[in-house]
Amino acid sequence: MSQSWNEDDFFVTRFESWESNANYWAKFVDECTLRGAIFNSIISFIRATSNRDNYPPSILDLGCGEGAFLRSFYYEFPSAKLVGLDLCNNMIESATARSYSIPISFVRGNFEAPNIVIHEKFDVVTALLSFIEASELAIPFHNLASSLKPMGTGIVAILDPMNEIYRYFQERREDKKLLTSNNNFLISAHFNSSNGYSPKPYFRFVRPLDEYLHAAFECGLQLDYAIPVIDISMKHIGKLAPRVVVLYFSLVDHSPSHIYRHQN
């Protein structure tokens, strides 16, 4: 391709895109059945695995966007401590406005920054389709791990890499694809809602699942569960392959002795 990869330019472009897309994104999330399926899957998991000592669990959401997951969690666990972190001012403003009267703290911060300061530990730290936008994974996973309580759970939702490869390479979609310096693909695409198409594109990386697992392991995290989430809105066209894989991690010294993969 004629384009070249520059990490600094990419970060600035991505930040500007989300600042412009914030209101469109809020409407997209409202209408996205896949997002709802992800939230329901994670909430069901947390409900099933929480115990008396951490019930209701405290949650930090890295890359919280307009706060939809934290609001969903609040309705299930209204006394839980909930904190959302996002890079973009407009996202924080949208999250605060849409969560009016709900006790959720939204703070501006960059989970890709090595010097991020999080003053407390959480029972659950989530990154729901946010790490797929990170240009590298070591620092995001370090920030996730360092924010967990000893018996805490880290939850990272990613778009299923095999499904991504099928959708964007077998179907020959017109979205822009750029090969990065480490041979992953960066996809630039617009999202659509009843408000129309986003004014600027958003960006995400297609990288092997092993890259996420390796980065997590290097930060002291062990994979305990990998649970696929299917987008039922695709049922009418016969496409029920997993769209998302939700990865559940624990700190290595406190992880279960088994790995379980649930098939829907």
Assign residue 151 the CATH number of its domain: 3.40.50.150
Residue 135 lies in a domain: yes
pLDDT tens series, the chain, 264 aa: 334 445 555 666 778 888 888 888 888 888 888 888 999 999 999 988 877 666 788 999 999 999 999 999 999 999 999 999 999 999 999 999 999 999 999 999 999 998 787 889 999 999 999 999 998 999 999 999 999 999 999 999 999 888 777 766 655 555 556 555 566 777 877 888 887 888 888 888 888 999 999 999 999 999 999 999 986 655 544 455 568 999 999 998 754 443 333 333
- pLDDT attached to residue 111: 94
- pLDDT attached to residue 260: 35
CB 107 within 8 A of CB 116: no
- pTM confidence score: 0.87
Rounded to an integer, what distance in angstroms lies between the CA atom of residue 156 and that of residue 124? 11
Residue 263 lies in a domain: no
Rounded to an integer, what distance in angstroms lies between the CA atom of residue 88 and that of residue 86? 6
Residue 63 lies in a domain: yes
Chain Cα centroid distance, residue 51: 25
State how many domains the chain has. 1
CB 60 within 8 A of CB 147: yes
- Tell me the CA distances in angstroms from 80 to 57, 105, 109, 193, one per residue in order: 6, 12, 21, 31
Residue 211 lies in a domain: yes
In the numeric block, the tokens 């990065």 are attached to: 180
- pLDDT attached to residue 241: 55
Residue 260 lies in a domain: no
Residue 259 lies in a domain: no
Q: 59 lies in which domain range?
A: 7-254
Residue 134 lies in a domain: yes
